[in-house]
Chains A and B, each alone.
Chain A
Amino acid sequence: MKKLILIIGVALLAACAPDKAKQESAGSENSQEESSATNAVAENTDPAKGIGQVTTVTLNTPLEQERIPRGKAIYEMKCQACHKLNDQRVVGPGWAGVTKNRKPEWIMNMVTNTEMMLDKDPEAQKLLELCLTRMPNQNVSIGDARDILEFMRKNDGEN
């Protein structure tokens, strides 16, 4: 497992570097692997779920009410500057309809594993080509991302 993490860590490094060959030879005893390795996870077999730690999400109906205000608060602090709640794109795409168009796992991976998604996931890359601004890693935990997802479902009219 440790080895796997290391390999993915190196792959991560390579992914965000302009010169891949040079970077791979760099891996010195005190290089910067550990910072990226926290995001290292097995990839989803279903590409529509994106890449990252989130492999299965159980959605409940009715909505988990206690998550919604928490998700809204995180949205207002970390997301609102770029994402509106309607379908209009400002810096990033508007959120209206996102839970209908994307799998919940994809959304949570995009929020928590942003750099790798932008480098590897074809759907995320399409959005980058459209918006031309790399979505920043806003340091959102898996639990916080789940709250945000519930808030998105509410925004999309679910109850």
Chain B
Amino acid sequence: MKTINQLTIILLAGVSMSLYQCKPKGPVDATVGDAASKVYVAPGKYDEFYNIVSGGFNGQIGVYGIPSGRLFRIIPVFSTSPESGYGFSEETKPMLNTSHGQVPWDDLHHIALSTTKGEHDGRWIFANGNNTPRVARVGFKSFRTEEILEIPNSGGNHSSPFITENTEYVIAGTRFSIPMGSKDVPISSYKENFKGSISFIKVDPQSGRMSIAFQLRTPGFNFDLSRAGKGPSHGWFFFSCYNTEQAYTLLEVNASQKDKDFIMAVNWKKAEEYLAQGKARVEKVKYAHNVYDEKTHSATTTMGTEVNVLDIEELSDLVYFIPCPKSPHGCDVDPTGEYIVGSGKLAAVMPVFSFSKMQNAIANKEFEGDFNGIPVIKYEAALHGEVKKPGLGPLHTEFDEKGNAYTSFFVSSEIVKWNVKTLEILDRVPTYYSIGHLSVPGGPTAKPHGKYVIAYNKITKDRYLPTGPELTQSAQLYDISGDKMKLLLDFPTTGEPHYAEAIPASMISPNSIKIYKIEENANPYAAKGEGQARVERKGNDVHVYMTAIRSHLTPDNIEGVKVGDQVYFHVTNLEQDWDVPHGFAIKGATNAEILIMPGETQTLKFEPKEVGVVPFYCTDFCSALHQEMSGYLRVSPAGSKTPLKFSTGETEGQPAAGN
């Protein structure tokens, strides 16, 4: 269940108890009088923030409005979408290619919005695929997945896709350590053979294109979450590690033995130096890199074969460990870049580390020892202080613009507000129920926008009308503009949200594109005008160059197709007006439909298996005569002599209307 597999049965029992203890008498008891007016967005008005929400096990991203909680769009990323044809159309199939073949699903946990100088810049959304390790980039102009990069040498891409201050790098840290290079070894040889891997993915500042710059080879731990330094700590990256016990079975017990695991501090500027000095070894790997071209409306896959590896056990001054109590989960850096908050899932205190103290400790060699040769800094030497008795099961921390931190507590089901400098607890509010991640607009950046905190809860129970055993996942919006946090709204979400970010709508909405210009359509199968609509046979492949405009498809009568043919419907939407997509579906197609945006070309493959006449039609209600937007494909027996013929508006014995 959910992210927190490691919690013991005892803790879970505690959850169910606390559910009932924390629960107010009625669902509205916890809200305040003017909550409704604070989340009411009148018809036709816009929300103040976009909330970009990971979809967890649905492999997609949800786009919501804040403060209304309204769902605007679901962006398919790692999962196919029969609704749009993503992953089914010939153009988008390559997006889901991996070294294992097409993997049509993934578990999308975390979001990272691109930043410049540590502040939101509104260019891209990055997201991780946790299961078959991948990182995706979604464009903020089109709200579409533009690129997916597979991560080699990773056993599960959880510690990802966190980014550096100027989006120089996107991070992909492995959740599970594995034997590198597909080795056949006993699982019990974990300590000897299993290694961790952290990929630094370079991002081209203009195009956003990703490439793996180098990987760090680490001892065999589990990497959980991470954050880049910023301001004074720019150039460093911090990772939470658990299972430093190096257990390989019953992790919930065996990976929870030590009092302290580690936060791993990486000096990535040093890594760049080592790379430039040729200190990396080149390893043979295999990974897919899929890029969607918005001019050809098509994706292509290239296979990568090599990666640069820097071994942190062999290179000095590159990595340091900081002890952190009990299986740290969140590892969050405050807006100033000075403080690093560790959240030990099973710990009674929350340590806040100081970047400047850590630097002094390194300079003065205040180490308590080493792990496989990597210095372990003395806990007290790096510690700013501890938040005492914060709550049970701390997971994640976000920040506002006033020097406050907001930490989610899964076990005690609450958000706790505290002051980063004084470590004083200022306020706490219950969540319904068992919060996982949380989001303050701009919360992970150098310049938080503040105003709200949103809780993404793991357990829904009785918050909404019941829908059988499976329930929507509940999010909750709190006003943080005053001293006390105030619950404003519950809103349902799709999939199972993990991390999310929120960004002011004013940074995004003016750049949102409305159409694809038909003049710029470079899809090789485009029919840019009805005069180019046609049908061509090449062996058993039949290519239908079809146009769609309100309210007809051209051609709409096609004959001469035979059983055993592969028919490609290349449909170009000739519309040039906002919000006039057309759809295309054909009876018996074993894949999906396609939705074609104005000016775009998309291709649906159809393999006729039986003789007959097969209707096809537009699936997106487009006009008063939408029901008329349809046609017929005649399928003749294999080997028959039916001539290839296509038309629109022609009736037997008469020329086409208007010709």
Partners in one complex: yes
Say yes or no: B529 contacts A26, CB within 8 Å.
no
CA distance A140 to B518 in the complex (A): 11
Chain B 616-659 against A: per-residue CB contact (8 Å), 1 yes, 0 no? 00000001110000000000000000000000010000000111
Which of these, A76, A82, A133, contacts B624 with CB under 8 Å? A133
Main secondary structure of the interface of A (DSSP, over half): loop
Contacts of A78 in B (CB 8 A): 518, 529, 574, 576
Select which of B576, B580, B625, B657 is within 8 A of A133 by beta carbon.
B625
Which of these, B531, B577, B625, contacts A76 with CB under 8 Å?
B531
Partner of A90, one of B519, B550, B658: B658
* Minimum Cβ distance to chain A for residue B544 (Å): 16
Q: Of B43-51, B360-368, B560-568, which binds chain A?
A: B43-51
Tell me, in angstroms, the Cα distance from A137 to B580 when the chains sit together.
10
Contact A23 B44 (CB under 8 A): yes
CA distance A28 to B509 in the complex (A): 15
Closest to B531 in A: A76
Contact call B45/A136, Cβ cutoff below 8 A: no
Q: Check if A26 sits within 8 Å of B43, measured CB to CB.
A: yes
Q: A22-B43, A81-B549, A137-B576 are in contact. List 9 more A-B contacts (CB 8 A).
A: A26-B44, A28-B44, A31-B44, A76-B529, A80-B531, A81-B554, A91-B552, A133-B624, A136-B575
Pairwise interchain contact A80-B529, C-beta atoms closer than 8 A: yes
Task: Across the interface, name the chain B residue whose C-beta is closest to A84.
Answer: B658
- CB neighbours (8 Å) of B46 from chain A are 28, 30-32
**Nearest 10 A-B pairs (CB), nearest first?**
A84-B658, A139-B576, A26-B44, A76-B529, A77-B529, A88-B658, A137-B577, A81-B549, A81-B530, A28-B45
Cβ B44 vs Cβ A77 within 8 A: no
Whether A57 is near chain B, meaning CB under 8 Å from some CB there, is no
- How many of B's residues come within 8 Å of A, CB to CB? 39
B38 at the interface (CB under 8 A from A): no
Given A30-B509, A77-B528, decide whether A133 and B518 contact each other with a Cβ distance below 8 A.
Answer: no
Instruction: Please report the total number of A residues contacting B with Cβ < 8 Å.
Output: 30
- What's the Cα separation between A91 and B657 when bound, in Å? 10
> CA A136 – CA B551 in complex, angstroms?
11
Contact status of A138 and B577, CB under 8 A, knowing A30-B506, A86-B658, A88-B657: yes
Residue pairs across A and B with Cβ atoms less than 8 A apart, 25 shown, are: A22-B43, A22-B44, A23-B44, A26-B45, A30-B506, A31-B46, A34-B510, A35-B514, A76-B531, A78-B518, A78-B529, A78-B576, A80-B529, A84-B658, A84-B659, A86-B658, A90-B658, A91-B550, A133-B623, A134-B550, A136-B549, A138-B577, A139-B515, A139-B576, A139-B577
Interface of B is mostly: loop
- A94 interface residue, CB < 8 Å from B? yes
Q: A80-B531, A84-B658, A91-B550 are in contact. Are A136 and B44 (CB under 8 A)?
A: no
Which of A31-85 touch B at CB < 8 Å? Answer: 31-32, 34-35, 76-78, 80-82, 84
Q: Which residues on the A side are within 8 Å of B623 (C-beta)?
A: 133-134
Q: Does A132 sit at the interface, judged by CB under 8 A?
A: yes
Question: What are the residues of chain A within 8 A of B44 when measuring CB–CB?
Answer: 22-23, 26, 28, 31
**CB of A46 to closest CB in B, whole Å:** 28
Q: Which residue, of B529, B551, B552, B623, has the highest number of chain A Cβ atoms within 10 A?
A: B529
Asked if B517 and A139 sit within 8 Å, CB to CB, the answer is yes
B250 within 8 A of A: no
Residue of A nearest to B533 (CB): A81
**Chain B, range 512-546, C-beta contacts under 8 Å to A:** 514-515, 517-519, 528-532
CA distance A136 to B580 in the complex (A): 9
Q: Which residues of chain A are within 8 angstroms of B576 by Cβ–Cβ distance? A: 78, 136-140
Closest to B41 in A: A28
Residues of B within 8 A of A31 (CB): 44-46
